[in-house]
Each structure stands twice: as structure tokens, then as C-alpha cells.
């Protein structure tokens, strides 16, 4: 959630390399409306959330003049955060009454919705789960191998909730120092775990106040810090690399090495203005190499990763 971490100064490790991948600005909201999170449909059309609107938007990134069009407006909410496709063209979405001044959700307002787009007509929406104890549900991730489960990062509580979108059951999956904010002694606001994704039984996550990108085995307790920076949400590619949005205007690539460590490299450090999330295209060989990045200044930027970092 990029409007949550604009207090952070971009940090990069001195050992990091810097490369520049080709980028193209494909859309800019006329008012600079903050764009929060992104999912890509099987057709490669984008689904985009905003913390300042209860409406889910869509955008065709291949259109000559792309427009941001309404898909569905969620009741009892004024903003949306995380989105994740948990079944083919069916999405879990976090909706809440968000107070952008206090940077917190109104008590009892956080709901995980399910939105089914498979009919091609009017979306089928249902409340999948309520998280009454949540103070700020943020990033959202699927759990490979279990299509009924999603994980929701609560940045204020410093916890990851496991949510069953079929039954509505909710439980705390992880809540410890690495996911928690530093607290009053750290830079305000006090926000911990932000973006999160699961791959091969491992939970990868960013922490806003601690300015870290880390991983921990699901069900484990040993957290490994992979890098330090003003990170927000991210995506994992088929090669196990993490593409992490980095404030104030960069994209950082973490590449796994044979010795078990990660190489960290800034691959975009221009164009982006407050990057908030990223996702790869899906329809066709070229689209799968295009990384779409949203920003809190209302941009949608296409990053061509086909050539790889220089």
C-alpha cells in the first residue's frame, strides 16, 4: 500500500546492481487517483483497486487509448486494497471503510469479497469472509494447492490472516516480530507486513516500517531477510524471481542463486512515481514478459522484461 510508506527513504544495498528495463506509461488517471493493487485476467486485461474508491476497475493494456472502466462497486466500503485470483477468473478482494488520515480501517469494516467474472456478463459478488479484528488488511495472496484459502496481510496488527473463502473461517497464520511494525520507536505510521505471496510452501513478504523483504516457510518460524528498502507489493515469476515495487520510484529484482542467496538489482529507476504493485501479463508469449506496475500517483506502467536486466 504505497500511500502507507511514502515516509520511507529509498534504501538500496551498496552491492546492488542497477539496470534499466524498457518502460511505457500506458495509463495515467486524470486526477492522479491512487492505484493500489493489480491482478491480471486470463485475457491479460487488468483488474485494479484503489484505496480511495470502492469500485474495482479494469483496463485493457493492449488498447491504443486505454481507459479505466468500472467492473463492480462494493457496498459498505470506501476503498479497496488486495486482490488475488483464487480460482480461474474468480477473485478475492479486500474492501473496507478506510481512514487515510489515521491509516486504519474502521472497526469491523474489513470484508473479503469473492467476485466471479467467468460468465462474461454481470459479475457475481458475495461476501466470502469478515475479519472484524482486522485493523488494516492490505496485501492478499493465494495459497497454491488449496484454492479455498487466501492470506491477508494486516499491516497494523503485523499479522497474516488465513481466510477460507468457501467457509468464511479466519485464523491468524503468522504474527511475530518480522511481520510486526517496529512500534512507536520507529518512523510513523506504524505499519508492518504489507505485500505477501506464497511459492513452494514459502511465504515471501515485505514490511513497511522495518523496510525489509523477507521469507519464512509456512508453518515455520525462521525468517530470512532478503533485502532492505522502501518496498511495497511485489510479484514472483516462473523462475522464482521477485519483482518488488520500491519507493520512491523504482523496481527491484531479487534473483535466487545456486548457493541459496539472492542477487538484488534495481531494474527500473525512472518513470515510476510511487509504485504500489506489479503483475505479469498472461495471454501470449509477449504478454507473459510484460510486467504491469501500478502507482499511487495513478499510473499504469508496462515494463518489458523480455531482454532481462542489462
Averaged over 21-35, what is the pLDDT? 95
> Quick one: what percent of the chain has pLDDT higher than 90?
84
* CA–CA gap between residue 91 and residue 87 (Å, rounded): 7
Torsion over CA: 39, 140, 297, 109 (sign):
positive
- 54 touches 72 (CB < 8 A): no
Pairing, β 17-18 against β 262-268? parallel
* CA–CA gap between residue 265 and residue 54 (Å, rounded): 35
* CA–CA gap between residue 129 and residue 135 (Å, rounded): 15
* CA–CA gap between residue 296 and residue 275 (Å, rounded): 6
Q: Give the burial string for 203-237 (b: 16+ CB within 10 Å, else e).
A: bbbbbbbbbbbbbbeeeeeebeebbebbbbbbbbb
* CA–CA gap between residue 10 and residue 63 (Å, rounded): 33
Q: What is the pLDDT, as a whole number, of residue 19?
A: 61
Tell me the per-residue pLDDT of 222-260, one tens digit each, with 9 for 90 and over.
999 999 999 999 999 999 999 999 999 999 999 999 998
pLDDT at 9 over 60: no
Averaged over 80-100, what is the pLDDT? 97
pLDDT at 181 over 80: yes
- 91 touches 41 (CB < 8 A): no
Q: What is the pLDDT, as a whole number, of residue 15?
A: 36
Q: What is the pLDDT, as a whole number, of residue 220?
A: 82
Q: Give the burial string for 247-286 (b: 16+ CB within 10 Å, else e).
A: bbbbbbbbbeeeeeebebbbbbbebbbbbbbbbbbeeeee
Q: Which bin fits 145, alpha (ψ -120 to 50), beta or left (φ > 0)?
A: left
pLDDT at 6 over 60: no
* CA–CA gap between residue 184 and residue 218 (Å, rounded): 29
Residue in this structure with the C-alpha cell 509477449, named with its chain if needed? 286
Place 33 in a pLDDT band, splitting at 50, 70 and 90: very high
Q: What is the pLDDT, as a whole number, of residue 12?
A: 33
How many CB atoms lie under 10 A from the CB of residue 15?
8
Q: Whole-number mean pLDDT of the chain?
A: 91
Q: What is the pLDDT, as a whole number, of residue 167?
A: 98
pLDDT at 4 over 80: no
* CA–CA gap between residue 63 and residue 21 (Å, rounded): 22
Decide: residue 86, CB within 10 A, 0-12 exposed, 13-18 middle, 19+ buried: buried
Which region among 39-53, 127-141, 203-217, 260-274 has the lowest average model confidence (pLDDT)? 260-274
Which region among 2-11, 48-57, 74-83, 156-165 has the lowest average model confidence (pLDDT)? 2-11
Place 103 in a pLDDT band, splitting at 50, 70 and 90: confident
- 96 touches 74 (CB < 8 A): no
Averaged over 267-271, what is the pLDDT? 89
Q: What is the pLDDT, as a whole number, of residue 183?
A: 77
Tell me the per-residue pLDDT of 109-119, one tens digit each, with 9 for 90 and over.
999 999 999 99
The Cα-based distances of 170 to 111, 136, 162 in angstroms read 11, 15, 6
Tell me the per-residue pLDDT of 37-52, one tens digit each, with 9 for 90 and over.
999 999 999 999 999 9
For the chain, give the number of residues. 310
Ordered domains of the chain (ranges, CATH): 2-304 (2.120.10.30)
3-state DSSP call for residue 248?
coil
Question: By 3-state DSSP, what share of the chain in percent is helix, strand and coil, each rounded to 5?
Answer: 0, 50, 50
Amino acid at each position: 500500500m504505497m500511500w502507507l510508506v511514502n515516509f520511507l527513504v529509498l534504501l538500496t544495498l551498496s552491492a546492488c546492481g542497477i539496470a534499466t528495463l524498457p518502460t511505457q506509461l500506458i495509463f495515467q488517471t486524470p486526477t492522479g487517483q491512487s492505484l493500489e493493487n493489480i491482478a491480471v485476467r486470463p485475457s491479460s486485461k487488468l483488474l485494479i483497486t484503489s484505496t480511495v474508491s470502492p469500485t474495482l476497475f479494469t483496463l485493457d493494456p493492449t488498447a491504443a487509448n486505454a481507459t479505466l472502466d468500472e467492473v463492480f462497486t462494493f457496498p459498505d466500503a470506501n476503498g479497496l486494497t488486495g486482490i488475488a485470483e483464487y480460482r480461474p477468473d474468480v477473485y478475492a478482494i479486500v474492501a473496507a471503510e478506510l481512514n487515510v488520515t489515521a491509516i486504519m480501517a474502521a472497526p469491523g469494516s474489513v470484508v473479503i469479497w469473492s467476485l466471479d467474472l467467468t460468465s462474461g456478463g454481470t459479475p457475481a459478488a458475495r461476501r466470502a469472509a469478515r475479519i472484524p479484528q482486522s485493523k488494516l488488511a492490505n496485501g492478499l495472496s493465494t495459497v497454491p494447492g488449496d484454492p479455498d484459502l487466501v492470506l491477508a496481510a494486516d499491516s497494523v496488527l503485523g499479522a497474516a490472516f488465513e481466510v477460507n473463502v468457501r467457509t468464511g473461517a479466519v485464523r491468524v497464520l503468522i504474527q511475530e516480530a518480522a511481520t510486526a511494525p517496529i512500534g512507536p520507536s520507529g518512523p510513523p505510521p506504524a505499519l508492518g507486513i504489507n505485500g505477501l505471496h506464497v511459492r513452494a510452501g514459502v511465504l515471501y513478504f515485505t514490511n513497511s516500517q522495518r523496510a525489509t523483504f523477507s521469507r519464512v516457510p509456512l508453518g515455520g518460524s525462521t525468517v530470512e531477510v532478503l533485502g532492505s528498502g522502501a518496498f511495497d507489493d511485489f510479484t514472483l515469476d516462473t523462475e522464482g524471481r521477485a519483482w518488488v515495487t520500491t519507493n520512491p520510484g523504482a523496481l527491484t529484482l531479487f534473483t535466487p542463486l545456486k548457493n541459496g542467496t539472492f542477487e538484488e538489482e534495481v531494474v527500473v529507476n525512472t518513470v515510476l512515481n510511487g509504485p504500489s504493485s506489479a503483475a505479469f501479463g498472461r495471454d501470449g508469449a509477449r504478454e507473459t514478459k510484460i510486467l504491469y506496475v501500478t502507482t499511487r500517483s495513478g499510473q499504469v506502467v508496462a515494463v518489458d522484461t523480455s531482454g532481462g536486466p542489462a
